[in-house]
Amino acid sequence: MSESDSRAGVERGVGANPVVEAAAWLVLEPALTGSSSPMLPETHTWSASNARQIREAISGDNADMGARSFLDKLHDQLSGLDDSVIVLAAEMLYVHGIPLVNLQSETKSQRIETVLSWTRAGITLPPALRHGLEAGGTFHGGAGFNIRIWQQLIWLTDFIEEWWGASADERERALADPWVFRDLVDRVQGGWEPAMRMSLLALVWPGYFDSVVKDDHRRRIRDAFAHELGATPGDPTADIDKDLWAIRTKIQAPDKPRFDWYLPPYAEQWHSETVNKGRRAWLVRPGQGGQQLVEQWRKEGFVSVPATNLSLDLAAPTDQSVRDAVEAGYAHLDYAQRLQLTQADQAFILRMGIDDLVLVVSEETARLGVVSGAPKWAEEPGARLRRTVDWIPESVAKSELPEPVPGMLDKQGDVVDLTHALDALTTLAEKLTDTVEEERIEEEQTTPRVPASVAIPPVSDALAAELHMPQDVLQEWLDVLADRRQLVFYGPPGTGKTFVAETLGRHIVGSDTNHLRTVQFHPSYAYEDFFEGLRPVVENGNVTYKVVPGPLRTLVAEATTPGNESRPYVLVIDEMNRANLAKVFGELYYLLEYRDQSISLQYSGDNDFRLPKNLYIVGTMNTLDRSISMVDAAIRRRFPFVELHPSVAPVSDVLAAYLEAQRADGLRARLLAALNAGIDERDLQIGPSYLMKASASDESGLERIWKYDILPLLDDHFYGARTPEQIRAQFGLAALLAKIGGTSVGPVDAVLPGEVVLDVANPDEAEPQES
């Protein structure tokens, strides 16, 4: 039985994208079984000989580390080789690119077509394979997947040699058993590329291996769901691949589509901003080396710190050993200088990791790269301590750096943690990488150089009709919100403040209703409730304290998740002035005014925090509870205030517009005008929402509203000044109906003969109008 036959009937399973996996298998099945290539009929391209020729052509002495594009380099490196070798390169690029969701299908196709065009036979990409490239992908590869294409191709050539170096029996078992295949893959010796490894496993055995290619993410997922297996999080002896498969098998509903670890409710268990211990971003300054040192970094592929007097064993460094080395080598410096050096060296040696992003800014130019090596010594003055870096060939103007990076460049130190800007820098790195690789492709990427600005949709007719307010007024409020990112509606009760805030919020977020959150402040509300604070947590029967995010921190985490930066989020804070705002907002006051800056937090000082520009905050303040004149002046400066008052447009016209839309007469509007005309204190006048209820359309319902809603407010207002009898004599429903000439006969909204229209300015001079 041939290897191809042995594969028949074996269930590979269904993964994240069946169309992608089926198309990839059109290449991988003949590649692994020795069958004919789908691009070059009657030829087996994935041979050990072809793989060796590609590896020798692109590595070693033939490696091209210059600034040219990958395809330009590859063209020269493959020049003169046989068509079967060139087709193998194209097929490896196909396997490399097809699962990437962050690479456009046109880019994938064009890259492969370009390589195929170098063949003497003029081979083109088959339609079935092109269809697979148009199916989207299975995971986000990040900038590293493009920057290190040549390394991943080398890994694939090593895999091919390892595959065909195995016995026929082992290959047959690997095609019938995912774990045998996994073990064979892990024997590849040509440099371990974890992302390429996981990508290949997920394409060959999609039912067993998830398209989660980052080692840190895989560990965090396993640890977060280890309880499903009765296992211990972080067990170093565990087989993560088998654990993840067992966890999915346990919690995946058999009749449901395959769930995604990066989507709710699973993502919240492991992938939140508060536990971000994975990939990081760094700013490294060249110091006295300046532009000349930056150019050396770029040309030779590394980044460095001076470490002039540092003597340290890099085999097993610790915070303490780095600190001791700085103290010993720089005793001639003062304490503050030694502390700054300690922090920089600790970050460079201990915190920075492989696959982290590095940003360097020199004069008016910025350059990005991906860390690819551990720290090592090099005996060169001014650049002794180094890490290898894969630099993106194309630079970017300093002025084009995306938010929040510009506001973080003023931080002190030679090595600065920019992880808070990781998403923005990753987006920029992918754009720059795509630009280099697409010199033959028209600029048509979905990922912009600078994250797209968040657009608030204009006011629609439907929105104006829902709020019973003019479009131009509503548009002005939204324009203010777009400019300032925050807004407060204030006024007496019943003016629709909360309703307006939430309705505008729903309009802004559109169909993404989970992007709108409402919280209500009260006198005992604190920073720990609103943002983050220590909370007791029971673990293994013991009570411990952990930093738990509040609604604002949680919403910010969602708003800054990759892919969400250009989508609006809205937080509505109801009854804002009932809390001690200075206590609730704390250091966030600063961020309300400076959205492009970041600050260190009370409970999470290791990570800088900023309020993203796609988060809008809309507050409401009830002036009956507490005058806004008593509100913290700092808040008043940071929030534009919009008054909603019963006697001022647009609120003064809302009830009439509502009644007109309901095809009801204006009796309720005249009742409200008569009621407020007798209330001397402006902030105690009654808003229209009390009379916009369905129950207010008949006499009994209107009487209940007067008895249980309106009169109790007036009793509080006139307490000690008037008796309840006096209040009802002036403001009771019967008294007001008599005053405006209405009667309590039949439906309240009926148009009655001889009805009196009240002149609000002179209510006592109202004259009867014939209906």
CA-based end-to-end distance of the chain = 97
- pLDDT class for 127, splitting at 50, 70, 90? very high
Residue type, 658: Y
For residues 507-522, one letter each, b for 16 or more C-beta atoms within 10 angstroms of the residue's C-beta and e for the rest, the string is bbbeeeeebbbbbebe
Does the N-terminal peptide bond of residue 317 adopt cis geometry, omega within 30 degrees of 0? no
- pLDDT class for 760, splitting at 50, 70, 90? very low
pLDDT at 186 over 60: yes
Q: Which two tokens stand for residue 162?
A: 């390892």
CATH number of 461-643: 3.40.50.300
Q: Which two tokens stand for residue 649?
A: 């447009």
- pLDDT class for 234, splitting at 50, 70, 90? low
**Which position has the token pair 């708003």?**
559
- Taking the alpha carbons of 167, 173, 176, 179 in that order, is the dihedral positive or negative? negative
**Stretch 559-568: mean pLDDT, rounded?**
73
**Mean model confidence pLDDT for the chain:** 82
Residue spans per domain, the chain: 11-210, 215-274, 281-437, 461-643, 651-768
Q: CA-based Rg of the chain, rounded to a whole angstrom?
A: 34
**Stretch 625-634: mean pLDDT, rounded?**
65
Q: Give the tens place of pLDDT for each residue, 51-104.
A: 999 999 988 777 776 667 788 889 999 999 999 999 999 999 999 999 988 778
**Which position has the token pair 């959150």?**
517
- pLDDT class for 351, splitting at 50, 70, 90? very high
Averaging pLDDT over each range in 34-38, 552-556, 557-561, which range is the top one? 34-38
H or E, element range at 385: strand 385-391
Give the architecture (CATH level 2) of 281-437: Roll (3.10)
Strand pairing category for 608-609 and 599-600: antiparallel
pTM: 0.50
Averaging pLDDT over each range in 120-124, 148-152, 233-237, 288-292, which range is the top one? 120-124
Model pLDDT, residue 192:
53
